[in-house]
Amino acid sequence: MTMRAPSPLPDLEAVRASYPDLEAVRVRAQRVAARVAGLDGAALLEPLICDEFAGRIALVSSFGTESAVLLALAAEVRSSLPVLFIDTGALFGETKRYRDQLVAHLGLTDVRTIAPDAAELASADGDGLLFQRDSDACCHVRKVLPLDRALAGFDAWISGRKRYHGTDRAELPVIEADRGWIKINPLVAWPRERLVAEFERRALPAHPLEADGFLSIGCMPCSARVAPGDDIRAGRWAGRDKTECGIHRRSA
């Protein structure tokens, strides 16, 4: 098992200055979408990982309750695919242990743990209570900025979002332009039933908190148990007018 420890990340302004022209990203996204039309899962990932974006694509994973299927499909195509894991500093210990379990189980060889910039975090959230005052700002410094830096050098990244999650995800395309990158959503059309069946077929381990009612898991302060029958993401930022952390900002 190979795990990369957090390492110095590129200057954020330099990263943003390196973004390609948005229109060029949109044009390429349209071409890629046509190339993989009708495909999903590993069949979609294989030509993108091994050809279209060879050496320039990463998978971003929270190692949450649904993450194992996408990670398994990616490992089936290429176990050395870079996997970016954002350690916000506020995660459940169970999530990090689950990460280690899945890395070993699937044979992933390039999982990169990325973290917030210490100085930015100290300035924005010195008391650790920013999530109470401004959850968007908290997500921005703990997740959005570290991911922007970590994606430097990649042309595309893979996401595990699905339409059945609802809200802003209900109309997600398979391929989309997202600022300087092309984003791939290989499981976007999968219903919950298919995901559960794939977990069972592959004998994938479950996140340890799922049995305790946590169906969508992020940072500890902003994740809650979900009542039976409620939406799978009802426990994320419960009671707030918020459904996304900010890393999924569509440009097209």
Residue 131 counted as domain residue: yes
Residue 61 counted as domain residue: yes
Amino acid 81: pLDDT: 98
Whether this prediction's pTM lies above 0.75 is answered by yes
Count of positions (residues) in the chain: 252
Q: How many distinct structural domains can be found in the chain? A: 1
Two tokens, residue 116? 């917030």
Residue 134 counted as domain residue: yes
Amino acid 13: pLDDT: 57
Two tokens, residue 205? 């381990």
CA distance 103 to 110: 9
Amino acid 218: pLDDT: 85
Helix 192-202 vs helix 67-77: crossing angle, to nearest 10? 60
Amino acid 77: pLDDT: 97
Residue 249 counted as domain residue: no
Residue 188 counted as domain residue: yes
The Cβ-side half-sphere exposure at 78, using a 13 Å CA radius, reads 20
Residue 240 counted as domain residue: no
CA torsion through residues 152, 156, 157, 162, sign: positive
Residue 178 counted as domain residue: yes
In terms of residue numbers, what domain contains 11?
A: 3-222
pLDDT along the chain (252 residues), means of 10: 48 58 90 96 96 98 94 98 96 96 98 95 92 88 92 94 78 88 94 94 95 84 78 67 66 46
Residue 84 counted as domain residue: yes
Amino acid 237: pLDDT: 64
Q: The domain that contains 169 carries what CATH number?
A: 3.40.50.620
Amino acid 38: pLDDT: 94
List residues with catalytic annotation: 245
Q: What is the pLDDT of residues 17-40, one digit of tens each?
A: 556 678 899 999 999 999 999 999
Nearest CA to 223 among 93, 107, 40, 98?
93
CA dihedral angle for residue 47, residue 49, residue 50, residue 53, rounded to 10 degrees? 90
